[in-house]
Homo-oligomer: A and B are copies of this chain.
């Protein structure tokens, strides 16, 4: 009697649609640990800053290191195309909105200068910071060794959608198992959203998987090409692959939720969904120290034929210190991410990130009300 369908669809969920259930035991926030490791490198907090030119400059990467996290430098962005990227950044900021996609298309058509890759890596290393740089799959084989040679500690290989197998007419697909062997530093790869791809990627020997394709409901990748999976479901799938891979191989590979996170609450939900760490762009572009001067844009935006996203005025919301650790008088979750994480871990009785993986979540869509009757708990 039921209607026949060409295929079955399952429901996927985003951050705004779930909520964490408090645990059976609670602990004081000061008893929690937020430590994470990538390969042999240890970090105080499980937070990465995205390889976006408006968010992470060499100087910002250093600052992230000092705060206990990791800033990833886009090795194919302005910093490696221009000797002086800062004047270009200023121009991006001052270009009127109606011309900015065109202007971005233009400045990103300048070729990458390989000599600048090493130079930027050294700038970061000089300060004593862990240095992570990001490449697209097309350029990874040629360029990533230059970065490692110059001292890069972590290589990130990132495109909108990444799989262990890519077919191309113009270049031979990157073979991750070969890359891992040749580079000898931890390799983080993304983005992906499904069990099978995560599993295959982990089997190549990489050290971390970035999760997230078109996660936001308003993400223009979803609007332009229709592709994307909301982040909670994407993370739940990729984390399932990590668990199965760990059970079989004994090797634990990080799942890093990347994109669509705006608040401390989103970070907590990503981790309860199974993430070992999170990667954020816009929230860091909002730091007073960010190179974008209160603006942000992505690498898909200057695409010459199919631009997605745009330059967004994100504003400057506070110092990186405030964003990560407070104190704050802001009550919307956009500051003191780590304070929020510790409080939530405490409410769930989680001493560590991996304990926090065991917390329960429910589906509880956040319906915006008129904002007049907030519940005010003690």
Contacts and interface: CB of A to CB of B under 8 A. Distances in A.
A212 B327 CA distance: 27
Contacts of A225: 20, 264-265, 268, 333, 340-341, 343-344, 347
A340 B160 contact: no
Can you list the 10 inter-chain pairs with the closest CB atoms, starting with the nearest? A298-B376, A226-B265, A226-B268, A6-B239, A299-B378, A12-B362, A259-B375, A6-B274, A27-B167, A28-B168
Contacts of A101: 329, 331
Given A22-B161, A306-B339, A377 B240 contact: no
Copies of this chain, count: 4
Contact of A170 (B9, B28, B347): B28
A139 B196 CA distance: 52
A167 B243 CA distance: 28
The size bracket of the interface on A is 35 or more
18 contacts: A9-B232, A10-B362, A12-B362, A16-B367, A19-B226, A22-B213, A101-B329, A105-B329, A160-B377, A212-B377, A217-B364, A225-B265, A226-B265, A226-B269, A233-B364, A259-B376, A259-B377, A304-B327
Contacts of A26: 161-163, 165-167
Interface stretch (A57-65, A80-88, A121-129, A186-194): A186-194
B25 A331 contact: no
A298 B340 contact: no
A329 to B, nearest CB: 4
A331 B378 contact: no
